Structure formats: C-alpha cells, structure tokens
Copies of this chain bind each other. A is one copy, B any other.
Amino acid sequence: MRVYLAGPEVFLPDALEIAAAKKRICAAHGLEGVFPLDPPPEAAAAAAERPYWLRIYLGNEAHLRSCAALIANLTPFRGPSADVGTVFELGFMRGLGRPVFGYSNAGADFLERTRAFLGPGVRRRGDGGFEDAEGMGLEDFGLADNLMVDGGIAAAGGAFERQETGGDRWRDLGAFARCVARLAQWSSASRA
C-alpha cells in the first residue's frame, strides 16, 4: 500500500534524510512511503510551460492520487496550528475518501497552544469561553488542532498520535512510527 507522507519537513535542509528514515519505518510494516519531494508520477506535472510552484503542486497532487492513504505531520508550524500545505493534503485525501492518519510532536491541546500564542490578547467571553483581540472565539474541545483537522481523521477511521517530544520536534519519529503501526493494522484488518 502506497502511503503519502505529508508534512512541513520538506522545508528542512535534511528533508531527504528524514524522508528515507520515514520510508524505512513504512517498509518495516509492509507499506511504501511516498514523499512529496519524490519525482512526480505523472509527466503532466513537469509541463514546462507551467510555473515552477504549480508544477510542484501538480506533482504533489499526482502523488496523492497515486496513494491509498496519508500520514500527516501535524506538529504546529509557525503558529498554533499545523502547516496549511499539509492540512490541504489531509482534506484532499479525505475528499477522495481514503484513510488519513496524523501525528504531532506537541502534546498540549489546541486551546492551550492558541492561548500561549495569543498571549495577553486573549479575553474571557460572557459565556466563559475565550476570544482573541479581534473578538474571534477560541475552540475548546480538548483536541489537537482545529476540529476540521481532528474531525477529518476521526471520520476517516484514522488515528491522531500525539506526544510532547523532549527531542527535536521535526526529527523525532516516535509518534510517526506509532501512526504507521496503526495504519498497517488498519490495512490488515480491512483486507481480512
């Protein structure tokens, strides 16, 4: 089973080493990891007349379509939420009706992280909830991120593995490995 490995680690200088480590973990569970930076499967994505960024997009979309499942690195990225590129891919695969799994190397709930991010701008509303300086409410459901992120994974029958890492949050693959094990289990069960 081909599994798309979504995540903002594509922005790291050692992205390919991380990709190789993730693929080894997948292979140990009988899964084939597909990394966004892998050569795209469709020639269309390389159409020279299109701008570079659109060819990257089309390559990623072709990868997504070629995969039977997705595992997303949803560790918070430049703000309280996950990387939007990764979340787009999560929604895309849920739209295709394929299983989506996620992990995060931040243990704190979304509310706690959002409050920490906003700092003194957070106020109490009359109903006891919180709002930011622009009057926009803060989600308070004990989830890892916006409810569309957690909900998409739950609705797909996937799993969201969370841990507070003491190590390097972009290179600690403990929660990722648990995710792979869960997906492999799911895959065996769905074949049985």
Which residues from chain A sit less than 8 Å from chain B, CB to CB? Answer: 8, 11-13, 51-54, 56-58, 60-61, 78-85, 87-96, 114, 117-118, 131-132, 134-139, 141, 143, 145-152, 154-155, 170
Contact = CB atoms under 8 A, between A and B. Distances in A.
Contact of A95 (B53, B96, B149): B96
B147 A53 contact: yes
A78 to B, nearest CB: 5
A27 to B, nearest CB: 26
B85 A148 contact: yes
B151 A83 contact: no
A136 to B, nearest CB: 4
B151 A54 contact: yes
Contacts of A60: 148, 151
Contacts of A135: 12-13
A91 B70 CA distance: 13
Given A54-B155, A57-B151, A92 B94 contact: yes
